[in-house]
Amino acid sequence: MKETVSGIRPYHHGDLRRALREAAAGLLESTGPAALSLREIAREAGVSHAAAYRHFADKESLLAELAEDGFRLLLEETRAAMAARRRGGPLGQLQACGRAYVAFGVGRPHLLQLMFGAAIPDWSVHPGLVKASGDLAAQLAGVVADGQAHGVIRSGSVGDLALTAWSLVHGLALLAAGRRIPGASVDDAFVQRAARRATRLLLDGLRRR
């Protein structure tokens, strides 16, 4: 693509929004959400600051779309992990989901931080983000409900049990993503062992007696 004299690349209508999102995603993993600015994102995409504002009202709007992409990617990866463990039944699928969740957080720590952090204070003004995060929650609740229907997961509120499971794997994902667990050398092998053990303990608590 040709550049103008100023070095700013011209984009056809419809391409710029994608280019800005791709530039923001790349910068996110190197700087974290707090350090991002719309001006820097525009510069990385090779367009003017003013051009960026024609597609995004502010930085939060762009970050919300990145977070939405993150939830959809996490949904895809956990769904694929569960599909691979279909023969293991609901409990095996739940363990696979948890381990995939931890792997996602370790592989994309800044994206996980964006998805659940303070950079997007009010999700209600970003309906796409609300929908994507809700789809992820519904998937987890569906596995728990399926386990109850098959008599392998204890009775109780599906919402409460799903939230308990989510809290455990999310907490481990945050700890592992930050590589800051006191008394442990947090390498990839440690993370895999920790995820395996944590999800086993989770299943012990959820299993119907």
Domain boundaries for CATH 1.10.10.60 within the chain: 1-56
- Model confidence over 178-192: pLDDT tens digits? 877 777 788 889 899
Domain boundaries for CATH 1.10.357.10 within the chain: 60-206
Q: In this prediction, what percent of the chain has a pLDDT beyond 90?
A: 69
The model's confidence at residue 14, banded by pLDDT at 50, 70 and 90, is low
Q: Angle at the Cα of 175 (from 127 to 66), degrees rounded to 5?
A: 25
- Model confidence over 124-149: pLDDT tens digits? 999 999 999 999 999 999 999 999 99
pTM confidence score:
0.88
Query: Phi and psi at residue 207, in whole multiples of 5°?
Result: -65, 140
Q: Which CATH number fits domain 1-56: 1.10.10.60, 3.40.50.300, 2.40.30.160, 1.25.40.10?
A: 1.10.10.60
Residue 85 predicted with pLDDT over 60: yes
Which candidate, 64, 74, 50, places its Cα nearest to that of 166? 74
Residue 206 predicted with pLDDT over 80: yes
Whether residue 177 contacts residue 109, with contact meaning beta carbons closer than 8 Å, is answered with yes
Average the pLDDT over each of 74-78, 159-163, 180-184 and give the range with the smallest value: 180-184
Mean of the pLDDT values across residues 50-75? 92
Let me know if domain 60-206 sits in CATH 1.10.357.10: yes
The model's confidence at residue 5, banded by pLDDT at 50, 70 and 90, is very low
Mean of the pLDDT values across residues 9-28? 77
The token pair at 110 is: 């800044």
Which candidate, 156, 153, 173, places its Cα nearest to that of 77? 173
Mean of the pLDDT values across residues 18-43? 90
Residue 46 predicted with pLDDT over 50: yes
Residue 156 is predicted with a pLDDT of 98
Residue 73 predicted with pLDDT over 90: yes
